Structure 1
Amino acid sequence: MDFSNNILETIGNTPLVKLNKIVAEIDALVLAKVETFNPGNSVKDRMAVKMIEDAEADGRLKPGGTIIEGTSGNTGMGLALVAIIKGYKLICVISDKQSKEKMDILRAVGAKVVVCPTDVEPTDPRSYYSVSKRLAEETPNSWYVNQYDNMSNSLAHYEQTGPEIWKQTDGKITHFVVGVGTGGTISGVGKYLKEKNPNIKIWGIDTYGSVFKKYHETGIFDENEIYSYITEGIGEDILPKNVDFSLIDGFTKVTDKDAAVYTRKIAMEEAIFVGNSAGACIKGLLQLKEHFKPDDVVVVLFHDSGSRYVGKMFNDDWMRERGFLEENVTKAEDVIKDHIDKELIVVRTEELVSHAIERMRKYKISQIPVVDINGFVGSVDETDLFRSYVADKNVAEKPIKEVMGKPFPIVKLGTTIEEVSKLFTKENDAVLVDLGNGKHHIITKYDIIGSIK
């Protein structure tokens, strides 16, 4: 009989799959190392086992202990598998930008999940780095994994992932391309491959809001580069010890939008359902295409499963809200189609200014058309109301007709975006769209900006 003694024995030996349509413009053989075939559905299973086994061996992790780690979700899943098999408790500290699916999955496998804010400094006591360390200090018989600086992370990939790729390509690999987060995968694989063949190029995929690319190129840790970003699993606002910059030949940065769009493209064009960092890797690969020759063998690593992003990159509403959905917006009707049924908020000429202010607050809007029995006769916006208030503190009790400006221009549904855009001026911040049957909808500058791809 052929069977494994437990689920941990199924980790590794993931397939290498040729990519076709999505890399058609790359003149080389491109192979994907698909790590979703690991039981925890990510590359992180490998280092989770290694870090725990090494901690057991030197006494840092004792029987019945509690494992504590800050994670974007995938490492937590790998640790959870090992904790279940070996009898440990697990606390995962996760940032609030991670998908709900990741949090739910961690809870489903017995982990306690602590959620921290994303947009804070690493040294902030609320950051998931700081909270992880504090919990480890406060929890008896606990061990803080610290995957960023735990060198068992990169060692796992030096011992396992690198040799697998070398064997699967029969030593013909010329380039390795991978997203960089903790740095364990790129450093461990890169070290092994360069020992086998120093000419192999190692490329890291970074994201905007992360420090890796500039630090690699200049040696400068530029805090001005650090800002919140959407892409999950890659990029950092710190320099983990596992990132060995001497092994990396270069970085390319990929935008949040491109990462999300290409995550979906991989599923639709290659039938491989993988996560957000895989989309970033493919877009980064295309950005690097001039580095590849016809005889090259390029291996790109896909970190995790698309199932962890069904509420984000694979959700049309989520993509549309961020302007990531590749839709052809050419007419006024394209801009308003997703909220065309919303009632137009108006204010009447004889209503008080306080009524308009109350409506702006309630509906979180900045411009309101003014109507009387004959139709649209004027408009008010928050800037005009503010100026009026500065000039006269009693303006709230005055009728709208005394402070209103000119009525907003009205266009038809088929009016082009170019024509609509020309109607926005310093004096005019909105345009009304005639829907027919006496109904209208409003387009603001914000709507036009949101339609820009």
Structure 2
Amino acid sequence: MTAVHESVLDAIGGTPLFRLARLGADLAAPVYAKAEFLNIGGSVKDRAALSMILAAERDGLLKPGGTVVEATSGNTGIGLAIVGRQRGYRVIAGVSDRSASEKSDILRAYGAEVVIAPTALPREDPGHLFNVVQRLAEEIPGAWLANQYDNQANPDAHVRTTGPEIWEQTGGRVTHFVAGVGTGGTVTGTGGYLKQVSGGTVTVVGADPESSSYGGGDGSPWFVESIGHFLHPGTVEDRRPQAYRAEVVDSFERIPDRESLLTARRLAREEGILAGPSSGAAVAAALRVARRLGPDDLVVVLLPDSGRSYLSKVHSDAWMREWGFLEEPGETALREALAAAGPLVAVPADATVGGAVEALRDVPGGVAPAVLARAARPFGVSATEVVGSVSREVLAAALADGGAEPGDPLGALLGPALPTVGVGQSVAEARSALAGGHPAVLVLVDGRVAGLLPREAVSS
């Protein structure tokens, strides 16, 4: 019989498991997906949102006519908007400027007010999203900051609902639970419950972006929203969420962005499941885990949200090509040009003028990207960390006319960031990117700068 509810809030939870019969066809251990995108707001965060608001009401932190404020990549804000508006509250969602635009549109559709702020800043910067919403909560009378990262009602939602559902749905046969780690609430609550009820036999695996610091990466940016732990090189104190309990996670599978994004696309094409990129990361991790297991094991992987929030990103061929994640057969001209161009030379943004001159001495075309360097790792370049460009010509002119000295900081002489093109795009598209008079174009592979092509390399 079809369920009948008095409110949409009563429909949160109770999501089904689907066996991944095609993606897991060659595996001895079955892999089942917990379809959290079937929650009323389209994500697992509906559970935490309902739990946090009810707890705040019980504790007297949220009173009639109050305002719910939260920093979110989108999903928790959507859950809070649904629950909050149903219960008569004003809802303000501070959304990361890196989140898919669809999420902000959905928030507004549910009646939330949206404030966009950056997250690619040092955590202490006043303009950081978390600090922006903190000020809003302090300034608005009757406001309550949900603070999903440190709110224990977040993992508690999964101790009470998600974990017991998985245990019951598998008849206690689940041996491995795989989930992405963002705030840590889902993996801590669900994984902690499954460990407890199984007497410690369930293994909990965190699916993590390759560069996220949870699993041992350097904390540099990645392209899978809502999971991982970002660490800006200027951040003074690296705080882990209190909703996350590291001891619950037995191991991490570090998944590169391309593997995550392409797996999300495979879910739609092969399993009929339109899910987001973090689901792709989780499934990629679950398939890795299952390959090491036998028929007596059973893997459950949690799919956090719907792909409808990412139609302009992971499920867009154009976006995937622009960022170098998708390469069409036969479209190899840029990759061949990249191989012929030689190693990439990048100049750290905090270099001196003299240091930049030296770095550019033998660079073809005399131009290079300037990047935000990370001292904690061997030097590398991320597309999201490019802050400008620097040319041998500009530096030579400044030194010649006395406008700069070799020991001066480079910052004042930085030019605009160079245009980018994905490695799977065409030479014609690379030429189009240079139309504004730029001296070179950066080529992206898997979202990161892999090389630089001077104008002459793509003009013939």
Distance in 2 between residues matched to 1:21 and 1:366, nearest whole Å:
50
Partner amino acid, structure 2, of 1:244: R
Partner amino acid, structure 2, of 1:146: N
Shift in Å, 1:209: 3.5
Instruction: Report the equivalent of 2:44.
Output: 43
Distance in 1 between residues matched to 2:169 and 2:7, nearest whole Å:
25
Structure 2 residue 230 is the aligned partner of structure 1 residue 228: no
Shift in Å, 1:133: 1.1
Instruction: Report the equivalent of 1:57.
Output: 58
Instruction: Check whether the contact 1:329–1:335 (CA below 8 A) recurs between aligned residues.
Output: no
Distance in 1 between residues matched to 2:18 and 2:183, nearest whole Å:
25
Q: Which deviates further from its counterpart, 382-391 or 98-107?
A: 382-391
Instruction: Check whether the contact 2:24–2:30 (CA below 8 A) recurs between aligned residues.
Output: no
Partner amino acid, structure 2, of 1:184: G
Instruction: Check whether the contact 1:32–1:300 (CA below 8 A) recurs between aligned residues.
Output: yes
Partner amino acid, structure 2, of 1:233: S
Say if 1:390 and 1:164 are closer, same or farther in 2 by CA, change over 3 A.
closer
SS in 2 for 1:20: coil
Instruction: Check whether the contact 1:323–1:451 (CA below 8 A) recurs between aligned residues.
Output: no
Structure 2 residue 310 is the aligned partner of structure 1 residue 317: no
Q: TM-score, normalised by structure 2?
A: 0.72
Shift in Å, 1:123: 2.0
Say if 1:277 and 1:3 are closer, same or farther in 2 by CA, change over 3 A.
same
Partner amino acid, structure 1, of 2:271: E
Shift in Å, 1:285: 2.2
Instruction: Report the equivalent of 1:292.
Output: 293
SS in 1 for 2:53: helix
Say if 1:390 and 1:248 are closer, same or farther in 2 by CA, change over 3 A.
closer
Partner amino acid, structure 2, of 1:133: Q
Structure 2 residue 89 is the aligned partner of structure 1 residue 88: yes
Equivalent residues in 2 for 1:112-123, closer than 5 Å: 112-123=113-124
Instruction: Check whether the contact 1:335–1:451 (CA below 8 A) recurs between aligned residues.
Output: no
Distance in 1 between residues matched to 2:449 and 2:336, nearest whole Å:
7
Q: TM-score, normalised by structure 1?
A: 0.73
Shift in Å, 1:122: 1.9
Say if 1:64 and 1:297 are closer, same or farther in 2 by CA, change over 3 A.
same
Shift in Å, 1:319: 0.6
Shift in Å, 1:333: 8.5
Instruction: Check whether the contact 1:323–1:452 (CA below 8 A) recurs between aligned residues.
Output: no
Instruction: Report the equivalent of 1:283.
Output: 284
**Rg (Cα) greater in structure:** 1
SS in 1 for 2:23: helix
Distance in 1 between residues matched to 2:165 and 2:202, nearest whole Å:
15
Instruction: Report the equivalent of 2:246.
Output: 245
Say if 1:155 and 1:331 are closer, same or farther in 2 by CA, change over 3 A.
closer
Instruction: Report the equivalent of 2:205.
Output: 203
CA RMSD of aligned residues (A): 3.0
Equivalent residues in 2 for 1:123-272, closer than 5 Å: 123-197=124-198, 198-214=200-216, 225-237=218-230, 238-272=239-273
Distance in 1 between residues matched to 2:184 and 2:391, nearest whole Å:
49
Shift in Å, 1:329: 4.7
Instruction: Check whether the contact 2:67–2:142 (CA below 8 A) recurs between aligned residues.
Output: yes
Distance in 1 between residues matched to 2:310 and 2:392, nearest whole Å:
43
Q: Give structure 2 stretches of 5+ with no counterpart.
A: 231-238, 338-364, 368-389, 402-422, 429-438, 452-460
Shift in Å, 1:260: 1.4
Shift in Å, 1:117: 1.2
Equivalent residues in 2 for 1:295-306, closer than 5 Å: 295-306=296-307
Distance in 2 between residues matched to 1:71 and 1:104, nearest whole Å:
14
Partner amino acid, structure 2, of 1:234: I
Instruction: Report the equivalent of 1:220.
Output: none
Instruction: Check whether the contact 1:123–1:129 (CA below 8 A) recurs between aligned residues.
Output: no
SS in 1 for 2:268: helix
Distance in 1 between residues matched to 2:318 and 2:176, nearest whole Å:
37
Distance in 2 between residues matched to 1:384 and 1:81, nearest whole Å:
55
Aligned residues: 358
Instruction: Check whether the contact 1:65–1:89 (CA below 8 A) recurs between aligned residues.
Output: yes
1:368-390 residue CA offsets vs partner (Å, 9 max, x unmatched): xxxxxxxxxxxxxx968559858
Say if 1:334 and 1:157 are closer, same or farther in 2 by CA, change over 3 A.
same
More helix by share: 1
Partner amino acid, structure 2, of 1:163: P
Partner amino acid, structure 2, of 1:212: Y
Distance in 1 between residues matched to 2:396 and 2:38, nearest whole Å:
64
Shift in Å, 1:294: 2.0
Shift in Å, 1:59: 0.2
